Structure 1
């Protein structure tokens, strides 16, 4: 099963590259037999990959007519140059944000965030899991970890189950120490089974994963999180002032 999924992922990547290099919006693709020959895969694999790309909106398939490259859907540009709520960034772009799903739980601190938060791996922390949508389409899956208390103040992140409450706003009010700097590191990834379930994309769909750490003015880390973004829905923009 794993080998078959890997083959499908490889074929999808090849077909995406072929479309990007040789075809434009509105162009008709070669038939399944020709594509199978060019990609050195079976027609069944080509048919499945074409179906995946059609489901994503990359292609349009019309029975008896053919398969065509679709006009790209409008993507929402989101600036990450300042410490601002994702909700407000999306709204500022003229689109409608929504919180499709959210959960808060106590869990064991993962190794990757324990050092950042000054904890021992396995110590209890808060996990805040949120799924943001843009104009009704799942766009960003965010998993944040917070200490149970900061500066002697117990944290209760249950308010983050509402889109009306943002992480930065919550931390400023709960700790009295606003987040002054967000450090973000990006990596290109392919959708795994969790991402498929949360973001509604096919297995192997290209995504961007960002690791984010929020610091106070005194360089105290208040949270550590992972953001997985559908770049066919959101574009991330960084602006540097000289």
Structure 2
């Protein structure tokens, strides 16, 4: 296993060097067989290395079309290790967040979130769809579900169609209970037809999805959401650790 990983790392470095020295942004790379011949490795190794480079944002791969050198735009790092608004995380990175599209509606609760929110499957809940852009480029599509009422209070999330109001801010005001904890589960996926429409990518484009559940101080779930991210625009960063140690005088 260690030997195979070393071989992959070597092929990874050689292919990155080949791309940087012989190709420009937007160029189409040779097919896997030709790359395997040039690197003197198997096609399976080339395929795995190209997959890693796609996740890193070096190349983009489109099924049935080919692999292309990425356009070179800077990817924006955002932390998902806290409950800070995505808008504020993008701004903190020195970039401009906007909402390209947003809608709030009543919808039937999907089975996966009904259990989390403590409602009956297919009962009516609020659905909030938002498409965030970074510097004008579609970057993250977020679909959240939350109950119509919480702790005896009617919820009205219609203000979330504005970039000026974030889900965490809304819930703190509407329920009197700020989101204290968020659980996030990540998965790598390839863009389907709905994702291509939302995020302006080709079918098969590599994406990262995250299922997010926000909890209040009482431990009750306040919302259940799905986030789909273009990793060629945003990079998700998780930071862990305690308080910084004091610096001696």
**Shared fold per TM-score greater than 0.5:** yes
- Go from structure 1 to structure 2 and tell me whether the alpha carbon gap of 1:143 and 1:157 turns closer, same or farther (over 3 Å shift): same
The question of whether the paired residues in 2 share the 8 Å contact of 1:26 and 1:71 is answered with no
Shift of 1:105: 0.6
Aligned residue in 1 for 2:104: 104
Q: Deviations over 1:35-54 (max 9, x none)?
A: 375489xxxxxxxxxxxx9x
Aligned residue in 2 for 1:35: 31
**What are structure 2's unaligned runs of at least 5 residues?**
1-10, 37-53, 61-66, 243-249
Two-structure CA RMSD over aligned residues (Å): 2.8
SS of residue in 2 equivalent to 1:107 = strand
Aligned residue in 1 for 2:187: 187
Shift of 1:34: 6.3
- Go from structure 1 to structure 2 and tell me whether the alpha carbon gap of 1:70 and 1:233 turns closer, same or farther (over 3 Å shift): closer
Shift of 1:132: 0.1
The question of whether the paired residues in 2 share the 8 Å contact of 1:196 and 1:203 is answered with yes
- Go from structure 1 to structure 2 and tell me whether the alpha carbon gap of 1:69 and 1:119 turns closer, same or farther (over 3 Å shift): closer
Measure the CA separation in 2 of the matches of 1:103 and 1:117.
Answer: 21
Shift of 1:26: 4.2
Shift of 1:28: 3.5
Q: Deviations over 1:77-123 (max 9, x none)?
A: 10111110000000000000000000011010000000000011101
SS of residue in 2 equivalent to 1:143 = strand
Measure the CA separation in 2 of the matches of 1:151 and 1:25.
Answer: 57
SS of residue in 1 equivalent to 2:197 = helix
The question of whether the paired residues in 2 share the 8 Å contact of 1:183 and 1:213 is answered with yes
Measure the CA separation in 1 of the matches of 2:116 and 2:28.
Answer: 50
What is the 5 A alignment of 1:111-122?
Answer: 111-122=111-122
Query: What TM-score, normalized by structure 2, do the two folds share?
Result: 0.74
Measure the CA separation in 1 of the matches of 2:151 and 2:161.
Answer: 24
- Go from structure 1 to structure 2 and tell me whether the alpha carbon gap of 1:138 and 1:102 turns closer, same or farther (over 3 Å shift): same
The question of whether the paired residues in 1 share the 8 Å contact of 2:58 and 2:70 is answered with yes
Shift of 1:32: 8.6
What is the 5 A alignment of 1:156-235?
Answer: 156-235=156-235
Shift of 1:157: 0.5
Query: What TM-score, normalized by structure 1, do the two folds share?
Result: 0.76
Shift of 1:19: 8.5
Residue 234 of structure 2 is aligned to residue 239 of structure 1: no
Aligned residue in 2 for 1:123: 123
Residue 143 of structure 2 is aligned to residue 143 of structure 1: yes
SS of residue in 1 equivalent to 2:186 = strand
Residue 17 of structure 2 is aligned to residue 25 of structure 1: no
Aligned residue in 1 for 2:76: 76
**What are structure 1's unaligned runs of at least 5 residues?**
1-17, 41-52, 60-66
